[in-house]
A = this chain, B = another copy of it.
Amino acid sequence: MKKPNNPIAAVDMGIFRFDGERLSVFLVELLHGSFRGRLALPGARLAAEESMEDAALRVYREAGGDTPCFIEQVYTFSAVDRDPRSRAIATAYMAFPPDGCPPFQPCSKYARGAWYDVFTVRDLAYDHEQISRVCRQRIAAKLNYTTIALLLLPEEFTLTEMQTLYELCSGEQFDKRNFRKKIKSMNIIVETGRQRSGRKARPAMLYRAKRRSMELVSLFR
């Protein structure tokens, strides 16, 4: 019959941010284990009196964050050989830090941590490249029917930045006039009245989210 050898339950966390130009994920360098020295998503074993959601928030803090402005369970990965040391299943979460939070400083269980472009990361530990890809796909999907973009963008953003986020995640280009018309007609953003200058071109209008929560809306496709 089945062996009662119980796998370890763990949480792995994809922390994503968008700075107006690039979508990045926060990776840490592992200090121990067979993947020592490799980059990985922050993660932890599930503790006894802790739900996955609790564990996910703990992992987020161990990575150096305080309170995310968004967190969501993504998928559970359970391939038998995904951890060469011991049988482990990992439930992946993704989270976005709020705008203006201090730089992430991971706790001592990691060598260091830094942000990496989501579309070019390679050679992650475990199956974390796959996990990162699934998170990306989830973000891309949710851009089309929620206001998740407003949680990923900084508090004040330009419409060009917003369009860049959509284009990066969908892999296709949009017409500038149609994009702006669509977004403006949706009643989800307001002009701040302020402008962003300092770039070597005409300053852009800054906008902010009307509501800072993820809502279901019909956007593209």
A interface list, Cβ under 8 A from B:
2-9, 44-53, 73, 75-76, 78-80, 87, 89, 91, 218, 221
Contacts and interface: CB of A to CB of B under 8 A. Distances in A.
A75 B73 contact: yes
A78 B46 contact: yes
21 contacts: A2-B45, A2-B47, A2-B48, A3-B47, A4-B48, A6-B9, A7-B46, A7-B48, A9-B9, A9-B78, A9-B89, A49-B80, A50-B80, A51-B80, A52-B89, A73-B75, A73-B76, A76-B76, A76-B91, A89-B91, A218-B221
Contact of A78 (B44, B51, B75): B51
Nearest to A141: B145
Contacts of A6: 6, 8-9, 45-46
A78 B202 CA distance: 51
B80 A5 contact: no
B3 A49 contact: yes
A8 to B, nearest CB: 6
A8 B48 CA distance: 11
B80 A52 contact: no
Contacts of A48: 2-5, 7, 87
Contacts of A79: 51
Nearest to A49: B80
A50 B221 contact: no
- Of A44, A76, A80, most buried by chain B (CB within 10 Å of CB) is A76
A51 B89 CA distance: 9
A54 to B, nearest CB: 8
A44 B7 CA distance: 14
